[in-house]
Amino acid sequence: MKAFLKNYRQAPRKVRLVAGLIKGKSVDEAIAILDFLAKRAGFPIKKLLLSAVANALQAGVEKENLFIKELRVDKGIVMKRMMPAAMGTGHRINKRTSHLSLILAEKVQPVKNSKKGTLKKVSPRVPLK
């Protein structure tokens, strides 16, 4: 359950502030956080999250079991522009972009072992041995 956003036109330093808020959270909790966040990167990250959830639903995973395993913000291309300055000189302006990659995973649900009476953690998507 992955989704990618390439060449998002905002500096990675600013996007990482939003990404740090929702890492490790459940999908429903992350959507609630992003809805009321006053940062520009909140909307594209929410859109990316909903895309990853749609990919997971296509694979047959329930939305309630999903959480954000990894949300990586990497540096994209840097567009170099010039700003006129005094005495005919110019100063360089760097317009930075970001690459985002989001990975969702299923929560491990405890399953009661009938023989020993102890809890055994088993992922529902992994076959038992």
What Rg value do the Cα atoms of the chain yield, rounded? 20
pTM of the model: 0.80
Q: Is the pLDDT of residue 44 over 70?
A: yes
- Per-residue pLDDT, 1: 87
Helix axes 42-58, 12-22, angle to 10 degrees: 50
Q: Is the pLDDT of residue 41 over 60?
A: yes
- pLDDT of 67-122, one tens digit each? 999 999 999 999 999 999 999 999 999 999 999 999 999 987 766 666 665 665 55
Q: Which residue has the tokens 């905002």?
A: 10
| 17 membership: H or E segment, kind and range | helix 12-22
- Per-residue pLDDT, 125: 62
d(CA 72, CA 75): 10
Q: Which residues pair with 106 in a beta bridge?
A: 66
d(CA 121, CA 83): 58
Looking only at the bridges linking them, the beta strands covering 109-112 and 119-122 are antiparallel
Q: Average pLDDT of 21-43?
A: 96
- pLDDT of 51-72, one tens digit each? 999 999 999 999 999 999 999 9
- Per-residue pLDDT, 78: 97
d(CA 31, CA 68): 11
Are the beta carbons of 71 and 5 closer than 8 angstroms?
no
- Per-residue pLDDT, 119: 61
